[in-house]
Amino acid sequence: MSRYRYPVIPSSAITPEKVYQQRRTLLKLMGFAGLSSLLGDALAADTADTLTPYEHVTGYNNFYELGQAKTDPAANAHRLKTAPWSVAIEGEVAKPGTYTLEDILKPHAIEERVYRLRCVEAWSMVIPWNGLPLKDLLARFGPTSKARYVVFESIFDPDNLPGQKDNRSGLQWPYVEGLRIDEAMHPLTLLAVGLYGKTLPNQNGAPLRLVVPWKYGFKSIKSIVRIRLQEQQPVTTWNLSAPHEYGFYANVNPAVDHPRWSQQSERRLPSSLFNPNRISTQLFNGYAEQVASLYRGMDLRVNF
């Protein structure tokens, strides 16, 4: 187990769903080996956070390939075909190629991480993910000295994905996101293959998605089919669509409002009209101690 102190939430301080109580048994049944429980080394600030119930995590989603409404991804999840699945590793790497999902996962121990997820729309969740550190995967393929950025691409299948066929969102497909290489190699950055001890649901980005907990949720690209390392900063989907609203970095920052709403607070799900459950938003989503050094000397209002 890594010595890095992941700012996750200990199970003793939360009220988990019944399925999560059986997480290790479920993961073994799923065939995951070498499970590393990282739930003990938590920051004191995390102890008040409660897991978002499974039905909210899987029933309230942004996944525009499957529709624009929050309930569309769950309703259309069956349209996403996740088997067989392969991922192309390209660009500035020593070992490029196309690898099956089994090839991608086989050498790695699947870990448990409980992270906050903050949407740019000012709602948030707390989710127990299962996955592997992205840095461990990238290291296998030997990034070259020219690899300054990592680019991710989602599935493109307009015949089956209604949001790509009837593109009312106006986004350009396939969905593309990117990180600086130091962000990608940070120990917190995760490739998720499950949540709540279960295989990742289609509406949450099966079978492989990115999770970058200090950034707004649109950076955590779903259903990844291509990973490319390159020298130039990539053009990413939401930044291309509305560059004045969605920056490349997308770090959670309560001091930088969206042009159409404040980012100073968020609605922690579950919530309702009479119980909005609003909380203050934290810089870097509460992970400043771990990641602020990545942006030392940068103007976060310009590089938003």
**Two tokens at 88?**
């192309």
Task: Find out whether the peptide bond into 207 is cis, omega within 30 degrees of 0.
Answer: yes
Judge residue 140's burial from the number of C-beta atoms within 10 Å of its C-beta, 0-12 exposed, 13-18 middle, 19 or more buried. middle
Q: How many CB atoms lie within 10 A of CB 296?
A: 6
Please give the structure tokens belonging to residue 166. Answer: 């009837």
3 state DSSP class of 137: helix
Are the beta carbons of 152 and 227 closer than 8 angstroms? yes
pLDDT higher than threshold 50 for residue 24: no
pLDDT in tens, 233-286: 999 999 999 999 999 999 999 999 999 999 999 999 999 999 999 999 999 999
Partners of 268 in the β-ladder: 124
Residue ranges per structural domain of the chain? 11-251
Nearest alpha carbon to residue 198 among 42, 25, 56, 39: 25
Which one, of 239, 38, 15, lies nearest residue 129 by Cα?
38
Average pLDDT, the chain: 88
Beta bridge partners of 258: 261
pLDDT of residue 6: 35
Q: How confident is the model at residue 167, as a pLDDT?
A: 87
Residue closest to 291 by CA, chosen among 253, 238, 247: 253
The whole-model pTM stands at 0.87
pLDDT-above-70 percentage for the chain: 84
Q: What is the DSSP string of 36-96?
A: EE--SS--GGGTT--PPPHHHHHHS---GGG-SSTTHHHHTGGG---SS-EEEEEESBSS-
Q: Tens digits of per-residue pLDDT, 205-230?
A: 999 999 999 999 999 999 999 999 99
CATH 3.90.420.10 fits domain 11-251:
yes
- Terminal alpha carbon distance of the chain: 33
Per-residue model confidence as pLDDT tens digits over 79-122: 999 999 999 999 999 999 999 999 999 999 999 999 999 999 99
pLDDT score of 218: 98
Sign of CA dihedral 71, 74, 78, 82: positive
